[in-house]
Structure 1
Amino acid sequence: MIRIENISKQNSHRLLFIEASAALNKGEKIGLVGPNGAGKTTLFRMITGSEIPDEGQVSVDKGVSIGYFNQDVGEMSGHSAVAEVMNGAGPVSEVAAELRELEAAMVDPDRMDEMDSIIERYGEVQARYEELDGYALEGRAREVLSGLSFSQSMMDGDVGALSGGWKMRVALARILLMRPDVMLLDEPSNHLDIESLIWLEEFLKTYDGALLMTSHDREFMNRIVTKIIEIDGGSLNSYSGDYEFYEGQRAQNEKQQQAQFERQQAMLAKEIKFIERFKARASHAAQVQSRVKKLDKIERVEPPRRRQTVAFEFQPAPRSGEDVVNLKNVHKRYGDRVIYEGLDFMIRRKERWCIMGINGAGKSTLLKLVAGDSSPDEGTVTLGASVKMGYFAQHAMDILDGDMTIFETLEHNFPKAGQGSLRALAGCFGFSGDDIEKRCRVLSGGEKARLVMAIMLFDPPNLLVLDEPTNHLDLDTKEMLIKALADYEGTMLFVSHDRHFLGALSNRVLELSNEGVHRYDGGYTEYVARTGHEAPGVGG
């Protein structure tokens, strides 16, 4: 359906693709992977025709419809969320808009004299709407929005009043409703909670078109894709299998390549030594010449390109007392909405609690109460002896000073630390070389999140309170963070929609639901096994 043939592409000074080829066939579900900046979004843009390769070509079969979701959702306002989603479905949305105008005209007292023609036109438009299956389309649009966690009032309210993350969901819903022959999804999992993620997973599994997607959520990718295309040093390498299979395969290929490289290096060293030793002797001249010629002809094995991921190791955190946080009889409401009524909750040293709960159940509120960002209406929240807290909030990125560079920000926070250790810290969190001279205002969401995390973990707290810490992180940084936190000696309380993160790090689960609060000993994996569901409100 889509063929990428020998493409080369340069963006400003960076070579993204060098004679790269790949194909997307009918019904294939492919994960597109590669380090940040490797050219994933550029590839999507070349498939949709909004960018063209410098050389080679991208061809799409005649009549193939493509739906492209990316993070840049554009301006949305003046419509309800449902109308905005239906707008993506082509002609039916124009007919729906005219229907709504005619319905308004019918009750307009100033237009009574044209009523006959309005009613006649209404009949024609309504027939056309039915012919296009418009009523079923609205039902489907609501079904998709409901799957992405929209309430009825959000569906019917002005889309302009929604936050950026919810607008992303509207843009995603538009593509899902369209059900094109090919879906290109650039980070669809970024702004979703765990319930919406699981719903989207099911939707994409049953979608019969072809799919090419990127995602920083390995669990999500694993369950959907059956093939991986990797952008690596300008080439496109295809692997059949899911993400986990690809990781194993890539590691094996690197190992083999390393072994080949080392064998060849040893052989070359031996040849060069012979040449050096005998080049001055006339008796060996012919042998030396033939060996020099042989060396020139040998195709050199390249060493495997090492992915730059640096491990981060915690300084040991100071030890806290056994009781770390104690919430007693906590009541909290926002306007008419009751969040907690008499919540009692104790966190002890070395416990790692993940908080599960449907949207609006009060997950972030609980973290804010513990962090002191919000106070209870009644009851008490007490931190134990010697507790030193690190809090990563959704708005943590707003506290960075836009005029400072990354390095200045680190220096400002740790004036006593040496340059070397701050550079090492920056390197662990993916800022190497000149990156550390970037001003904070130009950083992407992911870079800001990494910087805030670096500041929080350098002088480690013994209680970490994390609200969606992996939201903007790429797969490699996320992996590094999970490894670092697995060795962390302190106590943790966190909310995350990343099931790999939940499974790897939690040893306790607190579930907030309409029926009350449930505690589970054992981590997220045991919770899923015991409850039969991956998240509250989701069938097992």
Structure 2
Amino acid sequence: MIRLDTISKHNGQRLIFIEASAALQKGEKVGLVGPNGAGKSTLFRMITKQDEPDEGQVLIDRGVSIGFFSQDVGEMAGRTAVAEVMAGAGPVAEVAAELAELETAMADPEQFDQLDSIIERFGEVQARFEDLGGYALEGKAREVLHGLGFSQEMMDGDVGALSGGWKMRVALGRILLMRPDVMLLDEPSNHLDLESLIWLEQFLAGYDGALLMTSHDRAFMNRIINKVIEIDGGNLNSFSGDYEFYEQQRALNEKQQQAQFERQQAMLAKEVSFIERFKARASHAAQVQSRVKKLEKIDRVEPPKRRQTLSFEFPPAPRSGDIVANFQGVDKSYGSRVIYNGLDLLIRRGERCCILGVNGAGKSTLLKLVAGTTKPDAGTVTIGSNVKMGYFAQHAMDLLDGDLTIFETLERAFPLANQGSLRALAGGFGFSGDEIEKYCRVLSGGEKARLVMALMLYDPPNFLVLDEPTNHLDMATKEMLITALGNYEGTMLFVSHDRHFLAALSNRVLEITPEGIHQYGGGYTEYVARTGQEAPGLHA
């Protein structure tokens, strides 16, 4: 369906692709992987003809429809979320727009003298809308939006009033409703909660078109894809199988390449040693010459490329008292919506509590109550003795000073720290060399999240309160964070939609329900086994 034929592409001085080839066949579900900046977005732009390769060609079979979802959703306003999603559905969307205009015209007193012709036209357009399956389409649009977490009220409200994250869900809904021959999805799992993520997983598993997607969520990727295309040093390498198979295969390939490289290096060293030893002897001149020629003809084996591995270790935090946080009779409402009524909850030292609950259940509110950024309407939230809290909130990334560099931001936060320790901290979170001189205003979402985390974790708290800490993080940073938090000796209270993160770090689950908080010992994996569901309200 789509072929990339020996493509080469430069971005300024930087070579992104060099004579790279790959193909996307009918029915394939492909994960596109590679480090940040490897060229994943460039590849999407070339397939959608927003960009051209410098050499080679991108070949697309005639008549193939392509739907492309990217993080850059553009402006949306003036229509309902349902209308916006339906607007991506081709001719039926244009007919729906005319139908809406005619409905308005029929109710307009100033157009009363044209009412007969408007009604006649309305009948024609309505028949056309019905023929195109328009009424069924609206039902499907609502189904898609419901799956992505929208309430009826949000579906029928102006899309312009929605936050950036919800607008992204609308943009994603457009592509899903369109059901093109090929879907290109760039990070569709960002901005989704656990319930929406699992719904999307099931939708894509049942989609019969071809799919090419990127995602930093390994569980999501693993359940959908049957092939991986890896961007590696300008090449495109294909692997049949899911993400787990790709990781195993890549590790095996690197091991074999390293062994080949070492064998060749040993052989070369032996040959060079012989030449050095006998080059001055006339009796060995022919042998020396023969070996020199042999060395010139040998194809050199390259060592495997060393991938940057991030590592951060928590300095030991001071020990807190046994009771870390205590909720007693807490009430919390927003307007007429009651979130908590008489909540009693105890968080003890050493617990790693993950919070689950359907959209709007009050997960972030619970964290804000603990952090003190929101006050209860009644009751008390008491923080225990010797508790030093670190709170990671989504809005923290917006509070970074854009006119400071990464290094200046760290220096301002820790004026007494020596430069070496701050550089080591920055390196542990993926800012090495000149990168620490980048200004905060030019940082990506992932880079901002890493910087906020570095600020929070340098002077270690003994109680971590984390609201979606893995949003925007790539897989390498996520793995580093899981490893570091796995060795952390303090207490944790967190919300995450990443099942790998939940399973690796939780030892207690707090599920928020309308009847109150249900508690499960043993962490997320045990919760799934006991309830038969991966998220509240969704059955496995």
Question: TM-score, length-normalised on structure 1?
Answer: 0.99
Structure 1 position 14, deviation (Å): 1.2
The amino acid of 2:162's aligned partner reads L
Q: Deviations over 1:207-262 (max 9, x none)?
A: 00000000000000000001000000000000111101111111111111111111
Partners of 1:75 and 1:384 in 2: CA distance: 46
Partners of 1:417 and 1:299 in 2: CA distance: 50
Map of 1:463 onto structure 2: 463
The amino acid of 2:383's aligned partner reads L
Map of 2:279 onto structure 1: 279
Map of 1:223 onto structure 2: 223
Other structure's SS at 1:504 match: helix
Map of 2:306 onto structure 1: 306
Is 2:112 the partner of 1:112? yes
Structure 1 position 375, deviation (Å): 1.0
Partners of 1:143 and 1:517 in 2: CA distance: 29
| RMSD after superposition | 0.7
Map of 1:440 onto structure 2: 440
Other structure's SS at 1:395 match: helix
Other structure's SS at 2:394 match: coil
The amino acid of 1:257's aligned partner reads Q
Map of 1:391 onto structure 2: 391
Question: Where do 5+ consecutive residues of structure 1 fail to align?
Answer: none
Map of 2:205 onto structure 1: 205
Map of 1:320 onto structure 2: 320
Partners of 1:204 and 1:515 in 2: CA distance: 33
What pairs up with 1:198-277 in 2 under 5 angstroms? 198-277=198-277
Q: Is contact 2:343-2:516 (8 Å) kept?
A: no
Other structure's SS at 1:57 match: strand
Structure 1 position 310, deviation (Å): 2.2
Map of 1:141 onto structure 2: 141
Map of 1:330 onto structure 2: 330
Q: Deviations over 1:442-470 (max 9, x none)?
A: 11111000000011111110000000000
Is 2:297 the partner of 1:297? yes
Partners of 1:201 and 1:501 in 2: CA distance: 17
Partners of 2:116 and 2:412 in 1: CA distance: 74
Is 2:56 the partner of 1:56? yes
Map of 1:403 onto structure 2: 403
Q: Deviations over 1:132-190 (max 9, x none)?
A: 11101111100000000101110110000000000000000000000000000000000
Identity %: 79
The amino acid of 1:54's aligned partner reads D
Map of 2:122 onto structure 1: 122
Partners of 1:151 and 1:358 in 2: CA distance: 12
Partners of 2:389 and 2:108 in 1: CA distance: 61
Deviates more, 1:96-105 or 1:483-492: 96-105
Structure 1 position 438, deviation (Å): 0.5
Q: Deviations over 1:63-112 (max 9, x none)?
A: 00000000000110000001011110111111111111111111222222
Is 2:514 the partner of 1:537? no
Map of 1:156 onto structure 2: 156
Partners of 2:344 and 2:19 in 1: CA distance: 62
Q: Deviations over 1:326-365 (max 9, x none)?
A: 1111111111111101111111111000000011111000
Partners of 1:324 and 1:114 in 2: CA distance: 72
Partners of 1:54 and 1:105 in 2: CA distance: 52
The amino acid of 1:337's aligned partner reads R
Partners of 1:476 and 1:310 in 2: CA distance: 7
The amino acid of 1:87's aligned partner reads A
What pairs up with 1:16-35 in 2 under 5 angstroms? 16-35=16-35
Map of 2:358 onto structure 1: 358
Partners of 1:435 and 1:139 in 2: CA distance: 49
Map of 2:499 onto structure 1: 499
Partners of 1:107 and 1:415 in 2: CA distance: 67
The amino acid of 1:509's aligned partner reads V
Map of 2:175 onto structure 1: 175
Structure 1 position 506, deviation (Å): 0.3
The amino acid of 2:235's aligned partner reads S
Structure 1 position 191, deviation (Å): 0.7
The amino acid of 1:3's aligned partner reads R
Map of 1:379 onto structure 2: 379
Q: Is contact 2:310-2:476 (8 Å) kept?
A: no
Map of 1:488 onto structure 2: 488
Where does structure 1 differ by over 3 angstroms across 4 or more consecutive aligned residues?
A: none
The amino acid of 1:40's aligned partner reads K
Partners of 1:278 and 1:310 in 2: CA distance: 47
Question: Where do 5+ consecutive residues of structure 2 fail to align?
Answer: none
Partners of 1:399 and 1:66 in 2: CA distance: 38
Structure 1 position 515, deviation (Å): 2.6
Q: Deviations over 1:19-76 (max 9, x none)?
A: 1000000000000000000000100111111100000001000000000000000110
The amino acid of 2:158's aligned partner reads D
Q: Is contact 2:363-2:512 (8 Å) kept?
A: yes
